[in-house]
């Protein structure tokens, strides 16, 4: 049973569970925004007008996957690409996208709160610190 209790396995399983729970909660609220699109839209809500590559780097995602996600968000009218001088497009959140974010963020917060139900603030702070440490040790390579 230890093979299912390794740190890597537990991190993966927790990530998948959070993603599935967020997808279900957003869908149940009538928001057609899967987790992969939510994180890109959330990124643009706080850093509007950045390039696809910057989004990929911020989210530690493959540039091709981000392009597909932006294509889907653009079809929904939630983002638009705008040309800039250096031949890169900036990606901007539309008013429709901005209008969707507050409710989606609240739903995301509720999912996290449910996931951490029963945990004390010190444990949550320690978890965040440890996850940030993992990212800093490995994420910038």
Q: What is the CATH number of the domain that holds 24?
A: 1.10.10.10
Mean pLDDT (whole number) for 72-78: 98
Mean pLDDT (whole number) for 100-127: 96
- Global pTM value: 0.89
Q: What is the mean pLDDT of the chain?
A: 94
Answer whether residue 92 is part of any domain: yes
Answer whether residue 45 is part of any domain: yes
Which domain, by its residues, includes 81? Answer: 11-116
**Considering the chain, what percentage of its residues have pLDDT values greater than 90?**
87
Answer whether residue 130 is part of any domain: no
Answer whether residue 94 is part of any domain: yes
Answer whether residue 68 is part of any domain: yes
pLDDT in tens, 26-45: 999 999 999 999 999 999 99
C-alpha distance from residue 137 to each of 13, 84, 119, 130 (Å):
21, 34, 26, 10
pLDDT in tens, 15-30: 999 999 999 999 999 9
Q: Looking at the predicted structure, is the pLDDT value of residue 46 above 80? A: yes
Q: Looking at the predicted structure, is the pLDDT value of residue 96 above 70? A: yes
Answer whether residue 37 is part of any domain: yes
Answer whether residue 129 is part of any domain: no
Higher pLDDT, 2 or 121: 121
Q: Looking at the predicted structure, is the pLDDT value of residue 1 above 70? A: no
For residue 23, how far is the Cα from the chain centroid? 11
Number of domains in the chain: 1
Answer whether residue 75 is part of any domain: yes
Mean pLDDT (whole number) for 46-64: 95
C-alpha distance from residue 49 to each of 14, 79, 125 (Å):
31, 10, 31
């Amino acid at each position: 049973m230890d093979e299912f209790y390794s740190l890597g396995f537990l991190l993966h399983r927790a990530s998948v569970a959070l993603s599935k729970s967020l997808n279900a909660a957003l869908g149940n609220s009538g928001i057609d925004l899967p987790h992969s699109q939510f994180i890109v839209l959330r990124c643009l809500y706080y850093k509007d007008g950045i390039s696809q590559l910057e989004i990929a780097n911020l989210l530690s995602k493959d540039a091709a996957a981000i392009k597909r996600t932006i294509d889907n968000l653009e079809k929904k009218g939630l983002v638009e690409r705008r040309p800039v001088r250096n031949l890169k497009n900036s990606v901007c959140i539309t008013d429709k996208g901005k209008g969707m974010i507050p409710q989606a963020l609240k739903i995301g917060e509720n999912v996290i709160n449910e996931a951490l139900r029963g945990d004390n603030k010190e444990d949550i702070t320690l978890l965040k610190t440890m996850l940030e440490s993992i990212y800093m040790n490995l994420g910038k390579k």
